[in-house]
Homo-oligomer: A and B are copies of this chain.
Amino acid sequence: MVSKKYVHGVGMTKFSVDDRTTMSMAYEAITDALNDASMGIDDMGAIVISNSDTKVNDERQRHYSPLLASLVRRKMPIIRVPAVCGGGGTALWSALRLKYDNVLVVGVDKVAAAPTNLITKEIMAAGENMWEQDEGLIFPAQNALVAQQHILKYGTTHEDLELIAYKNHYNGSLNPKAPFYGKKVSLEDIRKGPMIATPFNLFDCSMTVNGAAAAVISSDPSDVEVMGSGLATDYIAPFERDDMTKWDSTINAGTDAFKQAGIEPSDIDVVEIHDAFSIVELIAYEDLGFCKKGHGKDMIRKGIVNLDGKLPVNTSGGLKARGHPISPTGLAQIYEIVEQLRGRCGARQVKSAKYGLAHNIGGAGGTCAVNIFRKR
């Protein structure tokens, strides 16, 4: 980042499997964010949009910048910054570097609109396709291997991962934007989940949904400041890495964001982590510096990351229970952090949070964006 930036407004649709067009969802999230900012589209200098170029929906569209110009009826500079599941956080990182008074950031995707095999093929395109995905190492299998390594090396157990899923489902049941709002999932349900890839069962995996989320950022001060924004990449295939139990992109993006913010992990009060799979959340506790390497299990065993713990993680329900619509996910995290800092989260509100962090990943850690916010 170059100069101080602030969040003026956030907006999002309910995440669901409803069959809506991307532009209908984008319109709702944009309007919601602009209203929240008490601004209009003419106040925006530029737009950054992140969305996947999905092969699974029926929109046959790749040129989203002018499609958005048509939607908002303004011929302004618009860039598209996709980064598969890490698109939302990467779009914010990019928008913070543009020199306009106000920039609108939008993430939108319609993925849960096709047969499962097509969705799987689409998501496989976010990974390595010569040695991994096409040989059967699709994302659940890939992340299961990561979990196996972590279990082997650090004594983490599947019970730890079940507690993470339970926590996130509990939080999601309190979030009106989540598809399972109001629906409780018991630890027993989670333990009995159908096996997916050892050690994962269904409840270790996030939910594919459709949706949109947006934010208005500005050079003018507001009640929420963006303190740091880090972006990093890693080699695309986990097989290229020496140690699968640490994710360099999380470490590097986090280190950069904390350096910009001038604060320590221990200063953070509320966190959204990219729990595409339960193990990813546990490893991120470690890689973001909230505990030492190998001690992620203690964070969940001791309840530190619970809603009433010292460091609540995924108060929104996370990718697990608020759902994961690909590109909007990173901006939905920012929606949650901003609303928590403002104290507007109702039943899932944490107490007196001053600093919040959003951690958004693309692929198996191929891209990571970490953004840190402060209540002023």
Q: Which residue numbers of A lie inside 8 Å of B, CB to CB?
A: 2, 52-53, 55, 59-63, 65-70, 73, 75-84, 90, 93-94, 97-99, 121, 124-129, 133-134, 231-237, 240, 248-249, 252, 362-363, 366-367
- State how many copies of this chain the complex holds: 2
CA of A81 to CA of B49, assembled, Å: 10
CA of A361 to CA of B134, assembled, Å: 35
CA of A232 to CA of B69, assembled, Å: 10
A45 to chain B, nearest CB (A): 11
Contact B367 A63 (CB under 8 A): yes
Contact B129 A69 (CB under 8 A): no
Which residue of chain B lies nearest to A364 when distances are taken between CB atoms in the complex? Answer: B66
Given that A81-B79, A97-B98, A97-B99 are known contacts, is A66 also in contact with B236, CB under 8 Å in the complex?
yes
Residue from B52, B66, B99, B233 within 8 A of A76 (CB atoms): B233
Contact B90 A233 (CB under 8 A): no
Residue from B2, B75, B90, B93 within 8 A of A235 (CB atoms): B75
Which residue of chain B lies nearest to A237 when distances are taken between CB atoms in the complex? Answer: B70
Residue from B55, B82, B94, B248 within 8 A of A55 (CB atoms): B55
Residue from B2, B52, B60, B66 within 8 A of A134 (CB atoms): B60
- List 17 additional A-B contacts (Cβ < 8 Å) besides A70-B235, A70-B236, A77-B233: A53-B53, A55-B55, A61-B125, A61-B129, A62-B82, A62-B126, A65-B366, A66-B367, A67-B236, A68-B233, A69-B233, A69-B366, A75-B233, A75-B252, A77-B232, A79-B81, A80-B82
Given that A129-B59, A134-B60 are known contacts, is A65 also in contact with B83, CB under 8 Å in the complex?
yes
Contact B63 A249 (CB under 8 A): no
A9 to chain B, nearest CB (A): 22
Contact A84 B62 (CB under 8 A): yes
Residues from chain B with a CB closer than 8 A to the CB of A76 are 232-233
CA of A81 to CA of B232, assembled, Å: 16
19 A-B residue pairs with Cβ-Cβ distance under 8 Å, sorted by A, are A55-B55, A60-B124, A60-B129, A62-B82, A63-B125, A63-B126, A65-B83, A66-B249, A70-B128, A73-B235, A75-B232, A76-B233, A77-B231, A77-B233, A79-B90, A79-B93, A79-B231, A82-B82, A97-B99
